[in-house]
Structure 1
Amino acid sequence: MNKIKLTSLSRSVVESDHAVITGDGFVNSKVPGWDNCEVNVVINEAMGANFCQLLITLKDTGKLEGKTKDSQIFFYVLEGECDVKVDNQKNKLEKGSYIYLPIGKEYLFSNAKEGTKLLTFHKVYEPLEGYSVPDVMINNASNINQNIYCEDPNLLMQNLLPDQDNLSFDMAVNIFTYNPGANLPFVETHIMEHGLIYLEGQGIYRLADKWYPIKKGDSIWMAPYCPQWFGALGTEPAVYIYYKNINRFPTTI
């Protein structure tokens, strides 16, 4: 008997103020200067966002070469390893490594292990009078302390960028860990916009007035003021890495 494959089924949802992208509908995008790799545009301005989130899978001959212009880029290694060259300095990146590239920087990613996966966040940089453009940052998430969030020891936050401690930055990237059974202590509703991808675990996410099952590999976009809440399910921690915009005046009026 022939097996029927239901190709019309997907958990991906795109709404006016949020999206859940599961990856089963990804289509490769060609980016000039990025060769021998697969590029999936997960979040960008076409859906209403004010930033961009990409997933990149490199072949062993893969190469990402370019120069940041109006947008800064944050790269995070999800799997594998590769080299990166910036300012004539070469560094080895492995799983958990990340590099922040401010505007005006030439870069080259090469010598990748087959199947290396990179996550990127792109945001147009907003200069602030009296503050210089941030410097290049290279680090590994394993070097960043976990801080207790909202006085709940089952909620742990890592700030990969200086966050509110340095007004030169107008974007933050954090890793949020929920121990099994943990949840946000309230429904967040705020001006910051989010993009994220789950690194581990599973749970239930409330976005606006809808509820979504979420697991490792899923990505989420949250527009400003989209009500949001998450609770971890299962026997392992739920972990995601996320972007938000910070440190700039909230209105032009």
Structure 2
Amino acid sequence: MSERTYWATHGGHPPQTDLLTDRAMFKEAYAVIPRGTQRDIVTSFLPFWEGTRLWVLARPLTGFAETFSQYLMEVSPGGGSDKPEEDPDAESVLFVMEGSLELTLGDEPGGDDIHTLNPGGYAFISPGETWTVHNRGSEEVRFMWVRKRYQKVAGIEKPESFVTNEQDVEPTPMPGTEGRWATSRFVDPADVRHDMHVTIVTFQPGGIIPFAETHVMEHGLYVLEGQAVYRLNEDWVEVQEGDFMWLRAFCPQACYAGGPKPFRYLLYKDVNRHAPLSLGGHAGR
């Protein structure tokens, strides 16, 4: 497999001479947030985080995608948090694109589990886990943070936290594609303790999704590398590294990978739980 690279937005502002025309769109079934919209003027800050700003790419919206939030985080040298998550029911995935992030799991004296996440670093953080993150280096750290409220099931233990790196995960080719379409999976799809999957999907140049996927899972897709033409509901949309796509349940979707490099994206989806039978809530809340 070719060397893996990861796009991360650096913010800033365009010059006054730039045209206003852009690819940003928000429709009934999907949204496209191009990398060019991730500017300084739309950053946010979080309680108990120092030297940190973020772009909120997705948040639960009634009548749209309701199960997750997704942030593009930027932590300056010396920044981070000793209290990053306020919701004890939230589970998280962190994925590092640039820099080096120190992640500490647990709060037992002398028993802390300290990890250094470099580009490609991936961490699943179980709901209720005590954790901290800090930038001990001399350059900014940029990483994706996906959050979901864990849907408990009586008699099934919650999954444990773990840390790995994409470089250590062998992609699984889709059958019949000769390796043109593959998925790097960080957990066993059949492990029903997990109610979300955050994977990396890779298409070699010219690879395609040859049908319009139409399914119950909500999606957040952050393009790590390359470019493609994506079918979203009734539209064909050009996307490139740094863009974010947000799909509600049952939005038809497909793609053609274009350009000289592989087309790769970090993919969120909700899985392994009953569909709720009451409006305004998810099973297990």
Q: TM-score, normalised by structure 1?
A: 0.94
CA drift of 1:113 comes to 4.3
CA gap of 1:81–1:196, structure 2 versus 1, over 3 A, is: same
2:117 is matched with which residue: 93, 118, 123?
93
Deviations along 1:46-86, one digit per CA (max 9) or x if unpaired, are 48322101000111121133245121111000111121111
CA contact (8 A) 1:56 1:117 kept: yes
Give, in whole Å, the separation in 1 of the partners of 2:195 and 2:143. Answer: 22
The counterpart of 1:49, out of the listed 65, 70, 80, is 65
Give the structure 2 partner of residue 15 of structure 1.
27
Give the distance between the partners of 1:150 and 1:113, measured in 2 at CA: 44
Q: Extract unaligned runs of 5+ from structure 2.
A: 1-14, 107-111, 279-285
In the TM superposition, residue 250 of structure 1 has moved relative to its aligned partner by 2.3
Shift of 1:235: 1.5
> 2:34 aligned with 1:40, yes or no?
no
CA contact (8 A) 2:65 2:249 kept: no
Query: Mean alpha-carbon deviation: is it higher for 62-71 or for 128-137?
Result: 62-71
Q: Deviations over 1:92-133 (max 9, x none)?
A: 110101111111112111114422111011111001122101
- For the pair 1:189 / 2:214, whether they are aligned, the reply is yes
Distance across 2 between alignment mates of 1:112 and 1:186: 45
Structure 1, gaps ≥5 residues long = none
Q: Which residue of 2 aligns with 1:160?
A: 186
Partner of 1:62: 79
For residue 74 of structure 1, the aligned residue among 93, 96, 105 is 93
Cα deviations across residues 143-171 of structure 1 (Å, max 9, x unaligned)? 11111114212111111223x22111000
What is the TM-score normalised by the length of structure 2?
A: 0.83
CA contact (8 A) 1:82 1:113 kept: no
State the distance in 2 between where 1:252 and 1:200 align.
39
Q: Tell me the equivalent position of 2:243.
A: 218
Q: Deviations over 1:24-64 (max 9, x none)?
A: 33311111112101211011124832210100011112113
Contact 2:46–2:53 under 8 Å retained in 1: no
Q: Distance in 2 between matches of 1:236 and 1:194?
A: 23
Q: Structure 2 matches for 1:128-143, cutoff 5 A?
A: 128-143=153-168
CA offsets 1:214-244 (integer angstroms, 9 cap, x no match): 0011011010000001110111110111000
Alpha-carbon distance in structure 2 between the residues aligned to 1:56 and 1:78: 10
> Retained in 2: the 8 A contact 1:17–1:226?
yes
1:175-227 CA-partner distances (Å, limit 9, x unpaired)? 11100101002110000111011111101011110111100110110100000
Q: How many Å apart are 1:16 and its aligned residue?
A: 2.0
Q: 1:174 aligns with which of 177, 180, 199?
A: 199
Change (3 A) 1:5 1:189: same
RMSD value, Cα:
1.7
**Separation in 2 of the partners of 1:223 and 1:150?**
26
- Relative to its length, the structure with more strand (as a share) is 1
Q: Is the 8 Å Cα contact of residues 180 and 238 (structure 1) preserved in structure 2?
A: yes
Tell me which amino acid in the other structure corresponds to 1:225.
Answer: F
Q: 2:103 is matched with which residue? A: 84
% identity of equivalent residues = 27
Q: Conserved in 1, the CA contact under 8 Å of 2:169 and 2:184?
A: yes
SS in 2 for 1:142: helix
Matched, 1:198 2:223: yes
